[in-house]
Amino acid sequence: MAGNSFGKLFNLTTYGESHGPALGGVIDGCPPGIELDTDAIQNELNRRKPGQSAIVTQRKEPDSVKFYSGIFEGVTTGTPIGFVIENTNQKSHDYSHIKDSYRPSHADYTYDKKYGIRDYRGGGRSSARETACRVVAGAIAKQVLKDVEIYAYVSGVGTMKLDKPYSELDLTKIESNIVRCPDETMASKMEQYIKEVRSKGDTVGGIISCVVKNVPVGLGEPVFDKLHAELGKAMLSINAVKGFEYGSGFHGSTMYGSEHNDAFNTDGSTKTNYSGGIQGGISNGMDIYFNVAFKPVATLIQKYETIDKEGKVVQMQGKGRHDPCVVPRAVPIVEAMAALVLADFYLINKIY
Amino acid sequence: MAGNSFGKLFNLTTYGESHGPALGGVIDGCPPGIELDTDAIQNELNRRKPGQSAIVTQRKEPDSVKFYSGIFEGVTTGTPIGFVIENTNQKSHDYSHIKDSYRPSHADYTYDKKYGIRDYRGGGRSSARETACRVVAGAIAKQVLKDVEIYAYVSGVGTMKLDKPYSELDLTKIESNIVRCPDETMASKMEQYIKEVRSKGDTVGGIISCVVKNVPVGLGEPVFDKLHAELGKAMLSINAVKGFEYGSGFHGSTMYGSEHNDAFNTDGSTKTNYSGGIQGGISNGMDIYFNVAFKPVATLIQKYETIDKEGKVVQMQGKGRHDPCVVPRAVPIVEAMAALVLADFYLINKIY
Amino acid sequence: MAGNSFGKLFNLTTYGESHGPALGGVIDGCPPGIELDTDAIQNELNRRKPGQSAIVTQRKEPDSVKFYSGIFEGVTTGTPIGFVIENTNQKSHDYSHIKDSYRPSHADYTYDKKYGIRDYRGGGRSSARETACRVVAGAIAKQVLKDVEIYAYVSGVGTMKLDKPYSELDLTKIESNIVRCPDETMASKMEQYIKEVRSKGDTVGGIISCVVKNVPVGLGEPVFDKLHAELGKAMLSINAVKGFEYGSGFHGSTMYGSEHNDAFNTDGSTKTNYSGGIQGGISNGMDIYFNVAFKPVATLIQKYETIDKEGKVVQMQGKGRHDPCVVPRAVPIVEAMAALVLADFYLINKIY
Amino acid sequence: MAGNSFGKLFNLTTYGESHGPALGGVIDGCPPGIELDTDAIQNELNRRKPGQSAIVTQRKEPDSVKFYSGIFEGVTTGTPIGFVIENTNQKSHDYSHIKDSYRPSHADYTYDKKYGIRDYRGGGRSSARETACRVVAGAIAKQVLKDVEIYAYVSGVGTMKLDKPYSELDLTKIESNIVRCPDETMASKMEQYIKEVRSKGDTVGGIISCVVKNVPVGLGEPVFDKLHAELGKAMLSINAVKGFEYGSGFHGSTMYGSEHNDAFNTDGSTKTNYSGGIQGGISNGMDIYFNVAFKPVATLIQKYETIDKEGKVVQMQGKGRHDPCVVPRAVPIVEAMAALVLADFYLINKIY
């Protein structure tokens, strides 16, 4: 009810502030009998962690996950999986400058108005650090899903857009560069661009595209819990996301029905796939693909004016870790949320 | 779990197929003591109903709602509100042509694969007729929300786009024309365009924009149930929707942080509103605005080839009611879903 | 959230007041492909309806159910099953005597304090008439459960107790008498006793015992949603119920562990069954059995004093339909609630 | 869905096996602004922990709770409260004797059949050690409830029954003796009795009575989520519980309506309280009282025969910590579960 749980059957609850002792979560509903590949889980955490490359400020943050329950001799038991990620650098920072002020386009103001209190250190609960817990759960969800393949990649940074459809890309190359764009020419342009943005202390937004292959037919529940509606909610719940479209998306609104309808092949597959692998809210076995738009993050390394709790104007200087473009780091988060949605429907689908 | 309920505290469950005896719903969690304006409810139903104007095939379908419970002497009692909308023209049609065939880009194939059975008459459960129940509940949710104002309008039909921001539009003119576009010049162009599409037996998509004013600060729950995440899910659950963006949306992904950050005024309002009235998933009191993309509907009045249940190619001729562009009719549905989301968070917000 | 839904996967939502136009419900999550036996459903409704016999005031109330959705050509489709039971005698009664007064041990006072308004006619939402909807859903749940057999019977009326264990009773005789006690000698005593109570305008409580046979191993979820915890909640949610015990029950609290432990046979069954077919909250394949205690209903045909809304003492005269002992009529309700709980866990069990 | 969460608005999810690295939980929905009394929380944990007195085998188990989130400078923030209790003596025991065998009346058999795998060390997830997490959450719930007073005490051990109504007891004396019976004469008899049971390596059941005072009017939701139905579920979810009754309980089934009806005083209170403080599922402001029956725990320090996974008969010797009567230790668990139920309804009640 208070918004910290996701999923019905494969359910994740997360807790933790960015500078408290630890973050963590509970997965309730993971099927028993899965031999967990813990290296794969840690690998996903590593993909998400800050300071991975030259385009961002370095930071040592191990983000190692400890499992407390639900796994016995390496195998899931069907009981809840409790896990914890300790915050190792929680102590020394000085947050007095943001304690009583509201940074623009952060959640400072809204948390204070809603709750009357907030842990202001590093953004507290509103920090994207919370997504580390999603990545852990998503890595387990991927193992539940077995043959389903999820590929997210950066298709836009600022005004730079990769306009090729995913079918023309080599999706095995996503991890070959630090911006996670499978087109190498575009990747190096994006990288250069992000460095320029960084040098100004500024930030920039971007777009992540995601393709899901080998999806069984029948995932998704009409009428409110359509597969794409849950995917949309999942993506929009990621920090900084402003938009979601699947299949033909916004462009589809400009098309004629005679163009857009996906004619059947005799095996039930379709000749085109404007539907994005989903019809009537239910997967049809074709590839699912969607785009997620990220705004530029609000933390700039620049001077700015804002207000304090009393409404007085105050001068601020952005400091701390500078992430000029979080979009590459958000790639594993998009994959994790997709995996959570699909695992949930995958389990529901076993019932009926 | 099976997807026919929406909302946690202000909860709507719907049922019904387009050609069964009736559709209906139950609203559980409506606060007591609200003097219901039933004319306002019926008015919303009338806005949604097919055959309202010259741009679509005429049809007489009263869509009148009967309330069975939860209201005593015109006032809500806090007990569940059960309601029914009878299907008056359920009898005579001949659906033998679609009984054993899968129409392209409909839900015929996926329902059959998921459930092994479907009520094929008029699309059954996958018909947009289900949204009539949402409109009833949304009209009640609006009355719960009191001062909150929700304005949806058509901002795109096919390639025709209304590029003005909502602040430059006269939102009182939305209902003054049959396409529900508040810019009259654009409205008449859109109308003309839809007539042309209709004459070809084709369909076209479009975009609905929505603005919500007078939203209290504090609606929305971190971290998964962010206000915009629930709005996104709500919109994506409407038939034919392919995309959702709020605030700066997809365009925001091309911006710099230094442009996008919304500087505060001393009263806590912001000078710009790229955030779209939501920060950290919680409303900040500024206007909420978002766009919803609709694909063209799949039912064409044209000949086409498709497959039957055995995978054989069959020739089909589209017939029945022809709705070349459902986007104007979807305006009250978008408003209803927005109202349901907001009413739910409005009630949650009373707790803490 | 507002308490009108029951079950997670096999979910029932009910609505309706005893003297509104209709009661009804929605079953969301019924699996597709079930050929519904509608006679069996009507039969359960008939078992519940008032005025079945000489021991209560006669009343003509057909209680016939109309299905609006979710069933196509007699078979469930997996979409929600909406149903309605009309209130045929809603009009003419005079309720002015209870409009402004609080009858003792009814819900008049608590509803008024909680909601500030109530439909006072015939008890409104708090009337046991609501259980008719449960009986409809329970009859469908029984058909989902197939081989599972549920037998409820009256084992106590006032101080009269049937002390034989269920294994010594002929459960096929439950319906052979109007008190639904399978022991004919005790049944006729109970019948005589109820007639005496009736002649005084008084009421009396009783006990229903229930046995469930052929339960698959593995139903129930640790740790909060134990099978017996959900059964207990289900039974306690029935009007007038004051207690629930299963297996050895309250008597078990007086036993030694060396007596109470159920030793295994080599096939996994147990030599004794003090556990009541459930260990650690999960069914073990043995018979489930439990008792449900009903208080005497509050409506007497006697004069009494009570208070009105202003706290003034008023004289009242009980009138209306007189049901000296509702326990026999509650037998199908107990069975229905047991079926709802079991069907829910039965579906969950298919996932893992 | 998988049963490890409790409560809607004040929601607790627990995880952990008795011999894994740690147990823990997440409370989602605790209101912000509560200055937590952590000593009070630790005190409840101490009341629950094993080895408190001469009547049981001594054991050093600190059961200290660490909070990871949701509390800032000693005050709740409205974000989820994550907590952990480490298992300090998880290592050295030898569980090979129960690894492949099913102990009678434990959950060994049902877990294995349901999940195909179990952590057999110390009962794993089915261990009552899980209730430590409930006690932590319940202690916080008590602080949410403020003036509400919850008193649980032992009213029966084996055949020994304390037959006085709670109104004749001095509830401040509950903690004055190790059996937690407020009647000192009965307490010393019970203590002597438990010692005798212990000397035989046997166990015995008992009854806990609970009284809740200062309950606001209006808690509880009709029709399924009646206050007493949720209390019943909560109690039945505690390990070893076989029965629940409230107000007049099972005895009420033997009464006449003319005796049982609770006549009103002019202030809305009632002259008697057979209703147990709840009418129509909603609290009426009178004391809530109920009884909970516990079976004798299954772990005996005796020789016995049972079966292994292959169905072969094996000889076993009970060993390990011997708790001849867990009922006194369950007193804080009963209180905790009552607090969780009441806090949940208390928050719901703020909405409407």
- DSSP 3-state of A184: helix
pLDDT for A318 equals 85
CB contact under 8 A, A256 and B204: yes
Query: Looking at this protein, which amino acid is placed at residue B277?
Result: G
Q: What is the mean pLDDT of residues D322-328?
A: 94
| Residue C62 predicted with pLDDT over 90 | no
Strand runs (DSSP E) across A183-309, as ranges?
206-213, 241-246, 278-279, 282-283, 288-294, 303-308
Of all residues in chain B, the one with the smallest CA distance to C9 is B1
Mean pLDDT taken over chain A:
94
Q: How many B-C residue pairs are in contact by the CB < 8 A criterion?
A: 168
- Percentage of residues in chain C having pLDDT higher than 90: 88
Q: What is the pLDDT of residues B158-197, one digit of tens each?
A: 999 999 999 999 999 999 999 999 999 999 999 999 999 9
Q: Phi and psi of B223, rounded to 5°? A: -105, -25
Mean pLDDT taken over chain D:
94
pLDDT for A29 equals 97
CB contact under 8 A, A348 and C348: no
D-chain CB neighbours of A4 within 8 Å are 26, 28, 79-80
The range of the structural domain enclosing residue C202 comes to: 5-348
| Residue C54 predicted with pLDDT over 80 | no
CB nearest to C116's CB, from B17, B33, B67: B33
- The residue with tokens 């059957």 is A9
**Mutation site for A-interface testing, chosen from D69, D121, D348 by largest number of A Cβ within 10 Å:** D69
Q: Is D321 part of any known ligand binding site?
A: yes
Mean pLDDT taken over chain B:
94
CB nearest to C75's CB, from B17, B79, B117: B117
pLDDT for B169 equals 98
Q: Taking a C-beta distance cutoff of 8 angstroms, is the pair C20, C119 a contact?
A: yes
CB contact under 8 A, D347 and B347: no
| Residue C328 predicted with pLDDT over 90 | yes
Q: What is the pLDDT of residues A232-260, one digit of tens each?
A: 999 999 999 999 999 999 999 999 999 99
Binding-site residue set of C for NADP(+): 48
Of all residues in chain B, the one with the smallest CA distance to D223 is B79
pLDDT for C61 equals 58
Residue D22's pLDDT band, with cuts at 50, 70 and 90, is very high
CB contact under 8 A, D352 and B222: no
CB contact under 8 A, C80 and B33: no
pLDDT for B92 equals 56
Q: What is the pLDDT of residues C133-175, one digit of tens each?
A: 999 999 999 999 999 999 999 999 999 999 999 999 999 999 9
pLDDT for C352 equals 73
| Residue C321 predicted with pLDDT over 80 | no
| Residue A324 predicted with pLDDT over 80 | yes
Q: Is A248 part of any known ligand binding site?
A: no
CB contact under 8 A, A79 and D5: no
pLDDT for D318 equals 85
- Percentage of residues in chain A having pLDDT higher than 90: 88
CB contact under 8 A, B115 and C15: no
Partners for A (CB, 8 Å, 3+ pairs)?
Answer: B, C, D
Q: Taking a C-beta distance cutoff of 8 angstroms, is the pair D322, C278 a contact?
A: no
CB contact under 8 A, A32 and C348: no
Q: What is the pLDDT of residues D261-307, one digit of tens each?
A: 999 999 999 999 999 999 999 999 999 999 999 999 999 999 999 99
Of all residues in chain A, the one with the smallest CA distance to C32 is A352
Of all residues in chain B, the one with the smallest CA distance to C118 is B77
CB nearest to D311's CB, from C1, C233, C268: C268
What's the burial of A39, exposed, middle or buried (CB within 10 Å: 0-12/13-18/19+)? exposed
Residue B222 distance to chain D (closest CA, Å): 8
Checking ipTM against 0.90, whether it exceeds it is yes
| Residue A213 predicted with pLDDT over 60 | yes
Total domains in chain C come to: 1
Bridge partners of residue A15, in order along the sequence: A24
Q: What is the pLDDT of residues B281-339, one digit of tens each?
A: 999 999 999 999 999 999 999 999 999 999 999 999 887 778 999 999 999 999 999 99
Task: Report which of A246, A15, A87 is spatially closest to residue B224, judged by C-alpha positions.
Answer: A15
Cα C284 vs. chain centroid, distance in angstroms?
A: 24
CB contact under 8 A, B78 and D347: no
B-chain CB neighbours of C2 within 8 Å are 9, 11, 28-29, 78, 80
Question: Which residues touch B209 (CB under 8 Å, ≥6 apart)?
Answer: B152, B153, B154, B155, B162, B166, B289, B290, B291, B292
CB contact under 8 A, C68 and B28: no
Of all residues in chain D, the one with the smallest CA distance to C267 is D311
pLDDT for D56 equals 58
Partners for C (CB, 8 Å, 3+ pairs)?
Answer: A, B, D
Other CB atoms closer than 10 Å to residue C21's CB: what's the count? 17
Q: What is the mean pLDDT of residues D157-166?
A: 96
CB contact under 8 A, C115 and B32: yes
Residue D55's pLDDT band, with cuts at 50, 70 and 90, is low
Q: How many A-B residue pairs are in contact by the CB < 8 A criterion?
A: 369
CB contact under 8 A, A224 and B207: no
Binding-site residue set of B for FMN: 125-127, 239-240, 280, 295-299, 321
Q: What is the pLDDT of residues B239-297, one digit of tens each?
A: 999 999 999 999 999 999 999 999 999 999 999 999 999 999 999 999 999 999 999 99
D-chain CB neighbours of C156 within 8 Å are 253-254
| Residue D148 predicted with pLDDT over 70 | yes
Residue D92's pLDDT band, with cuts at 50, 70 and 90, is low
B-chain CB neighbours of C134 within 8 Å are none
pLDDT for B98 equals 80
Residue D73 distance to chain C (closest CA, Å): 32
pLDDT for C127 equals 94
Residue C95's pLDDT band, with cuts at 50, 70 and 90, is confident
Of all residues in chain B, the one with the smallest CA distance to C73 is B119
pLDDT for D193 equals 97
| Residue D192 predicted with pLDDT over 70 | yes
CB contact under 8 A, A242 and B253: yes
**Mutation site for C-interface testing, chosen from B8, B26, B126 by largest number of C Cβ within 10 Å:** B26
A-chain CB neighbours of B2 within 8 Å are 221, 225
Cα D59 vs. chain centroid, distance in angstroms?
A: 20
Q: What is the pLDDT of residues C73-91, one digit of tens each?
A: 999 999 999 999 999 865 5
CB contact under 8 A, D84 and A75: no
CB contact under 8 A, A250 and B250: yes
Please report which helix (H) or strand (E) contains residue B112, including its range: helix B108-115
Cis, bond preceding B223 (omega within 30 deg of 0) = yes
Of all residues in chain B, the one with the smallest CA distance to D345 is B351
Q: Is D203 part of any known ligand binding site?
A: no
Spell out the SS3 assignment of D106-162: CCHHHHHHHHCCCCCHHHHHHCHHHHHHHHHHHHHHHHHHCCCEEEEEEEEECCEEC
**Domain with C85 in it: what CATH number?**
3.60.150.10
Q: How many A-C residue pairs are in contact by the CB < 8 A criterion?
A: 22
| Residue D170 predicted with pLDDT over 90 | yes
C-chain CB neighbours of D252 within 8 Å are 205, 242-243, 293, 295-296
Q: Phi and psi of A209, rounded to 5°? A: -105, 150
CB contact under 8 A, A233 and B237: no
Query: Looking at this protein, which amino acid is placed at residue B116?
Result: G
D-chain CB neighbours of B11 within 8 Å are none
Q: Is A187 part of any known ligand binding site?
A: no
pLDDT for A97 equals 76
Q: What is the mean pLDDT of residues B107-129?
A: 94
DSSP-assigned states of every residue in B114-183: HHS----GGGGGGSGGGHHHHHHHHHHHHHHHTT-EEEEEEEEETTEE--S-GGGS-GGGGGGSTT--SS
Please report which helix (H) or strand (E) contains residue D185, including its range: helix D184-199
Of all residues in chain A, the one with the smallest CA distance to C347 is A351
Give the residue with greater pLDDT, C59 vs A133.
A133
Q: What is the mean pLDDT of residues B213-230?
A: 98
Count the helices and strands in chain B (H runs, E runs): 9, 17
Of all residues in chain A, the one with the smallest CA distance to B219 is A114
Q: What is the pLDDT of residues B37-93, one digit of tens each?
A: 999 999 999 999 886 665 655 556 578 999 999 999 999 999 999 999 999 865 656
Q: How many C-D residue pairs are in contact by the CB < 8 A criterion?
A: 370
Lowest mean pLDDT among A77-91, B211-225, D49-63, D324-338: D49-63
CB contact under 8 A, A2 and D26: no
pLDDT for D103 equals 95
